[in-house]
Amino acid sequence: AVLDTGIDTDHPQLMDDLVAERCTCQNPSSGCSSCCPGGVNSAEDGNGHGTHVSGIITSPSGVAPDAGIVAVKVLSDSGSGCSSGVLEGLDWVLSQVQNKNLDIKVINMSLGGGLFSSTCDSSDPLMAQALNSLKANGVATFAASGNDGLSNRLNSPACMSAAISVGATNDT
């Protein structure tokens, strides 16, 4: 499952990989009201980031080209979102796993906020609970550590004890 800005459902290298889609996006600029123009069953990407991430995963040259994508739009087309929308997306994924509707083994969240120098479960107990429940149900959650190049702090939810933090590296 990719929790991000959605997916371009017509992308020629991704459309055959799309297993399911859901929108739980809430826009902070409008008081966390819904930003699901196609309704809850559409995760159409108006930003490109979620499509890019999905391509890294399942395109023919991706890291898991035979995997399917469950696209969950939790971020608006401007790339912002509310924690409540992310939590709703995680809860939806958990319900799909528990009800055996979808065989989801991995979640990718290339999103985050705040900076923490240690485990941050206490800063957002609802997020910690959601990630712990997913882990208990056999779902590994990968989250972006942040784009700030910091070596001593992580964004949330990457700082949660049940998350696996992922960061980029370069030669500098």
Residue 65, pLDDT > 70, answer yes
pLDDT of residue 167: 86
Q: How far is CA 23 from CA 20, 74, 92, 105, 136, in A?
A: 11, 6, 10, 19, 24
Instruction: Output the pTM of the full model.
Output: 0.94
User: Tens digit of pLDDT for each residue in 1-37?
Assistant: 999 999 999 999 999 999 999 999 999 998 999 999 8
Structure tokens at 112: 């985050």
Q: Phi and psi dihedrals of 101, rounded to 5?
A: -80, -35
Instruction: Summarize the confidence of residues 124-145 as an average pLDDT.
Output: 97
pLDDT of residue 147: 76
Confidence of residue 96 (pLDDT cuts 50, 70, 90): very high
Residue 149, pLDDT > 80, answer no
Q: Distance between CA 80 and CA 90 in Å, rounded?
A: 17
User: Tens digit of pLDDT for each residue in 114-129?
Assistant: 889 999 999 999 999 9
Instruction: Summarize the confidence of residues 77-84 as an average pLDDT.
Output: 95
